[in-house]
Amino acid sequence: MAGEFFGVGVGPGDPDLITLKAIKVLKGVSCIFAASSTKNNYSVALDIVKPHLNTATPIEILSFPMTYNAEKLESSWKENAEKVCKVLAENKNAAFITLGDPLFYSTYIYLVREILKIMPEVKVTTIPGITSFQAAASACNLPLVEGEESIAVASGAKGSKQLRKILSSSENVVLLKVYREIDDIINTLEEENLTEKTHFISKCGMDGEVIIENVRELKGTKPHYLSLMIIKKGPLRGE
Protein backbone atom coordinates (compact mmCIF):
# COMPACT_ATOMS: atom_id res chain seq x y z
CA MET A 1 0.00 0.00 0.00
CA ALA A 2 1.19 3.49 -0.86
CA GLY A 3 0.30 6.64 0.98
CA GLU A 4 -1.85 9.38 -0.53
CA PHE A 5 -0.21 12.43 -2.07
CA PHE A 6 -1.79 15.87 -1.65
CA GLY A 7 -1.01 19.01 -3.60
CA VAL A 8 -2.06 21.89 -1.35
CA GLY A 9 -2.53 25.47 -2.51
CA VAL A 10 -1.83 27.80 0.40
CA GLY A 11 -3.06 30.99 -1.24
CA PRO A 12 -1.31 34.18 -2.32
CA GLY A 13 0.50 35.18 0.86
CA ASP A 14 -1.88 36.17 3.64
CA PRO A 15 -2.07 33.22 6.11
CA ASP A 16 -5.77 34.01 6.62
CA LEU A 17 -6.47 33.21 2.95
CA ILE A 18 -5.61 29.52 3.20
CA THR A 19 -8.70 27.30 3.02
CA LEU A 20 -10.08 25.26 5.88
CA LYS A 21 -9.70 22.14 3.75
CA ALA A 22 -6.01 22.86 3.18
CA ILE A 23 -5.43 23.23 6.92
CA LYS A 24 -7.30 19.99 7.61
CA VAL A 25 -5.15 18.09 5.10
CA LEU A 26 -1.88 19.54 6.38
CA LYS A 27 -2.73 18.59 9.95
CA GLY A 28 -3.43 15.01 8.87
CA VAL A 29 -0.40 14.08 6.76
CA SER A 30 2.79 12.41 7.96
CA CYS A 31 5.17 14.65 6.02
CA ILE A 32 5.04 18.05 4.31
CA PHE A 33 7.21 19.00 1.35
CA ALA A 34 7.87 22.58 0.27
CA ALA A 35 9.79 24.02 -2.68
CA SER A 36 12.72 26.41 -2.69
CA SER A 37 15.27 27.65 -5.18
CA THR A 38 18.57 25.75 -5.37
CA LYS A 39 20.19 29.06 -4.37
CA ASN A 40 18.61 28.95 -0.89
CA ASN A 41 16.36 26.87 1.37
CA TYR A 42 13.69 29.51 1.88
CA SER A 43 10.03 28.71 1.17
CA VAL A 44 7.38 31.44 1.08
CA ALA A 45 4.65 28.79 1.07
CA LEU A 46 6.04 27.32 4.28
CA ASP A 47 6.03 30.72 5.98
CA ILE A 48 2.35 31.10 5.07
CA VAL A 49 1.25 27.78 6.56
CA LYS A 50 3.48 27.66 9.65
CA PRO A 51 0.84 29.23 11.95
CA HIS A 52 -1.53 26.40 11.01
CA LEU A 53 0.82 23.37 11.25
CA ASN A 54 1.35 20.73 13.90
CA THR A 55 4.87 21.41 15.13
CA ALA A 56 5.66 17.67 15.20
CA THR A 57 5.00 17.14 11.48
CA PRO A 58 8.28 16.62 9.55
CA ILE A 59 8.96 19.21 6.86
CA GLU A 60 11.36 18.66 3.97
CA ILE A 61 12.52 21.35 1.56
CA LEU A 62 12.83 20.30 -2.08
CA SER A 63 15.23 22.40 -4.15
CA PHE A 64 14.37 23.32 -7.73
CA PRO A 65 16.62 25.30 -10.12
CA MET A 66 15.44 28.64 -11.50
CA THR A 67 16.32 27.91 -15.12
CA TYR A 68 14.88 27.30 -18.57
CA ASN A 69 17.29 24.41 -19.16
CA ALA A 70 14.97 21.46 -19.82
CA GLU A 71 17.53 18.81 -18.90
CA LYS A 72 18.27 20.39 -15.51
CA LEU A 73 14.57 20.87 -14.78
CA GLU A 74 13.63 17.29 -15.65
CA SER A 75 16.49 15.94 -13.55
CA SER A 76 15.35 18.05 -10.60
CA TRP A 77 11.70 16.97 -10.92
CA LYS A 78 12.71 13.30 -11.03
CA GLU A 79 15.12 13.57 -8.09
CA ASN A 80 12.56 15.33 -5.90
CA ALA A 81 9.79 12.95 -6.94
CA GLU A 82 11.94 10.07 -5.73
CA LYS A 83 12.25 11.75 -2.32
CA VAL A 84 8.47 12.04 -2.06
CA CYS A 85 7.98 8.45 -3.22
CA LYS A 86 10.20 7.15 -0.42
CA VAL A 87 7.68 8.54 2.08
CA LEU A 88 4.66 7.32 0.12
CA ALA A 89 6.18 3.84 -0.17
CA GLU A 90 6.06 3.60 3.64
CA ASN A 91 2.26 3.94 3.44
CA LYS A 92 2.48 7.50 4.78
CA ASN A 93 0.40 10.37 3.45
CA ALA A 94 2.39 13.38 2.26
CA ALA A 95 1.60 16.89 1.06
CA PHE A 96 3.38 19.34 -1.21
CA ILE A 97 2.55 22.97 -0.47
CA THR A 98 2.58 25.65 -3.12
CA LEU A 99 1.75 29.34 -3.42
CA GLY A 100 -1.59 30.18 -4.98
CA ASP A 101 -3.22 27.23 -6.70
CA PRO A 102 -1.35 23.93 -7.30
CA LEU A 103 -2.49 23.62 -10.92
CA PHE A 104 -1.70 27.18 -11.95
CA TYR A 105 1.92 27.88 -13.01
CA SER A 106 3.11 25.60 -10.22
CA THR A 107 6.07 23.26 -9.73
CA TYR A 108 3.53 20.80 -8.36
CA ILE A 109 2.33 20.06 -11.90
CA TYR A 110 5.72 18.67 -12.93
CA LEU A 111 6.43 17.00 -9.62
CA VAL A 112 3.20 14.99 -9.56
CA ARG A 113 3.77 13.78 -13.12
CA GLU A 114 7.12 12.33 -12.09
CA ILE A 115 5.64 10.77 -8.95
CA LEU A 116 3.02 8.96 -11.03
CA LYS A 117 5.70 7.67 -13.40
CA ILE A 118 7.48 6.09 -10.44
CA MET A 119 4.39 5.01 -8.48
CA PRO A 120 1.34 4.98 -10.80
CA GLU A 121 -0.76 3.41 -8.06
CA VAL A 122 -0.52 6.49 -5.81
CA LYS A 123 -3.76 8.35 -5.15
CA VAL A 124 -3.31 12.07 -5.83
CA THR A 125 -5.62 14.71 -4.36
CA THR A 126 -5.27 18.39 -5.23
CA ILE A 127 -6.55 21.09 -2.88
CA PRO A 128 -7.19 24.38 -4.73
CA GLY A 129 -5.98 27.72 -3.45
CA ILE A 130 -6.71 31.40 -4.04
CA THR A 131 -4.48 32.73 -6.82
CA SER A 132 -2.23 35.76 -6.63
CA PHE A 133 -4.20 37.71 -9.21
CA GLN A 134 -7.52 37.13 -7.44
CA ALA A 135 -6.02 38.54 -4.25
CA ALA A 136 -4.38 41.40 -6.18
CA ALA A 137 -7.67 42.39 -7.81
CA SER A 138 -9.31 42.45 -4.38
CA ALA A 139 -6.48 44.55 -2.95
CA CYS A 140 -7.12 47.11 -5.70
CA ASN A 141 -10.93 46.74 -5.62
CA LEU A 142 -10.56 46.13 -9.35
CA PRO A 143 -12.99 43.86 -11.25
CA LEU A 144 -11.13 41.23 -13.27
CA VAL A 145 -13.97 40.67 -15.75
CA GLU A 146 -17.56 41.78 -16.13
CA GLY A 147 -20.41 41.27 -18.56
CA GLU A 148 -19.23 39.53 -21.73
CA GLU A 149 -15.58 40.50 -21.31
CA SER A 150 -12.73 38.00 -21.62
CA ILE A 151 -9.54 37.66 -19.61
CA ALA A 152 -6.12 36.23 -20.45
CA VAL A 153 -3.41 35.20 -18.00
CA ALA A 154 0.19 35.03 -19.18
CA SER A 155 3.76 35.03 -17.95
CA GLY A 156 5.90 38.13 -18.35
CA ALA A 157 9.13 36.29 -17.48
CA LYS A 158 10.40 36.70 -21.03
CA GLY A 159 9.18 40.26 -21.45
CA SER A 160 6.29 41.53 -23.54
CA LYS A 161 6.24 38.75 -26.15
CA GLN A 162 3.14 37.06 -24.72
CA LEU A 163 1.53 40.38 -23.86
CA ARG A 164 1.64 41.56 -27.47
CA LYS A 165 -0.05 38.34 -28.59
CA ILE A 166 -3.04 38.57 -26.30
CA LEU A 167 -3.75 42.31 -26.13
CA SER A 168 -5.63 42.19 -29.44
CA SER A 169 -7.96 39.41 -28.32
CA SER A 170 -8.76 40.08 -24.65
CA GLU A 171 -10.24 43.03 -22.78
CA ASN A 172 -8.40 42.15 -19.59
CA VAL A 173 -4.91 40.76 -19.04
CA VAL A 174 -3.13 39.43 -15.98
CA LEU A 175 0.62 39.41 -16.50
CA LEU A 176 2.55 37.36 -13.94
CA LYS A 177 6.30 37.27 -13.27
CA VAL A 178 6.90 40.83 -14.45
CA TYR A 179 10.02 41.23 -12.32
CA ARG A 180 12.60 40.24 -14.95
CA GLU A 181 11.75 42.42 -17.96
CA ILE A 182 9.87 45.32 -16.41
CA ASP A 183 11.21 48.00 -18.79
CA ASP A 184 10.27 46.02 -21.90
CA ILE A 185 6.77 45.41 -20.55
CA ILE A 186 6.23 49.08 -19.69
CA ASN A 187 7.50 50.16 -23.13
CA THR A 188 4.87 47.92 -24.71
CA LEU A 189 2.15 49.32 -22.45
CA GLU A 190 3.19 52.84 -23.48
CA GLU A 191 3.02 51.90 -27.16
CA GLU A 192 -0.49 50.53 -26.64
CA ASN A 193 -1.58 53.55 -24.52
CA LEU A 194 -2.34 51.24 -21.59
CA THR A 195 -0.13 52.58 -18.81
CA GLU A 196 -3.10 54.42 -17.30
CA LYS A 197 -5.11 51.20 -17.42
CA THR A 198 -2.54 49.09 -15.58
CA HIS A 199 -2.10 48.24 -11.90
CA PHE A 200 1.11 46.77 -10.49
CA ILE A 201 0.90 44.67 -7.34
CA SER A 202 3.85 43.15 -5.48
CA LYS A 203 3.91 40.83 -2.42
CA CYS A 204 0.14 40.91 -2.22
CA GLY A 205 -1.11 40.20 1.30
CA MET A 206 2.40 40.08 2.74
CA ASP A 207 4.59 42.48 4.65
CA GLY A 208 5.89 45.01 2.16
CA GLU A 209 2.87 44.86 -0.15
CA VAL A 210 3.13 47.46 -2.92
CA ILE A 211 0.37 48.73 -5.22
CA ILE A 212 1.33 51.16 -7.98
CA GLU A 213 -1.09 52.71 -10.47
CA ASN A 214 1.47 54.82 -12.34
CA VAL A 215 3.55 51.95 -13.71
CA ARG A 216 5.99 54.33 -15.41
CA GLU A 217 7.51 54.78 -11.93
CA LEU A 218 8.82 51.22 -12.18
CA LYS A 219 11.16 51.85 -15.10
CA GLY A 220 14.74 51.05 -14.19
CA THR A 221 13.72 49.19 -11.01
CA LYS A 222 13.94 45.52 -10.02
CA PRO A 223 10.55 44.48 -8.65
CA HIS A 224 10.15 41.62 -6.19
CA TYR A 225 9.77 38.12 -7.63
CA LEU A 226 6.14 38.02 -6.47
CA SER A 227 4.91 40.83 -8.73
CA LEU A 228 2.16 41.03 -11.33
CA MET A 229 0.18 43.47 -13.43
CA ILE A 230 -3.54 43.73 -14.12
CA ILE A 231 -4.25 45.43 -17.44
CA LYS A 232 -7.77 46.56 -18.34
CA LYS A 233 -8.53 47.90 -21.77
CA GLY A 234 -12.06 48.84 -20.73
CA PRO A 235 -13.27 51.32 -18.09
CA LEU A 236 -11.63 51.32 -14.68
CA ARG A 237 -13.72 51.76 -11.54
CA GLY A 238 -15.52 55.09 -11.45
CA GLU A 239 -15.31 55.58 -15.23
Beta-carbon contacts of 142 under 8 Å, excluding residues fewer than 6 positions away, are 199, 230, 232, 236, 237
pTM (two decimals): 0.91
Alpha-carbon gap, residue 113 to 130, rounded angstroms: 22
With b meaning 16 or more CB within 10 Å and e meaning fewer, what string describes 112-140?
Answer: bebbeeebeebeeebbbbbbbbbbbbebb
Taking the domains of the chain in order of start, what are their residue ranges? 5-127, 132-232
Is a pLDDT exceeding 60 seen at residue 237? no
Can you identify the CATH homologous superfamily of domain 5-127?
A: Tetrapyrrole methylase, N-terminal domain (3.40.1010.10)
| pLDDT at site 194 | 96
| pLDDT at site 168 | 87
Q: What are phi and psi of 100, to 5 degrees?
A: 65, -130
Q: Which CATH architecture has domain 132-232?
A: 2-Layer Sandwich (3.30)
User: What are the pLDDT digits (tens) for 179-235?
Assistant: 989 999 999 999 999 999 999 999 999 999 999 999 999 999 999 999 999 999 876
Specify whether the CB–CB gap between 180 and 209 falls below 8 A. Answer: no
| pLDDT at site 42 | 83
User: What are the pLDDT digits (tens) for 76-124?
Assistant: 999 999 999 999 999 999 999 999 999 999 999 999 999 999 999 999 9
Alpha-carbon gap, residue 120 to 88, rounded angstroms: 12
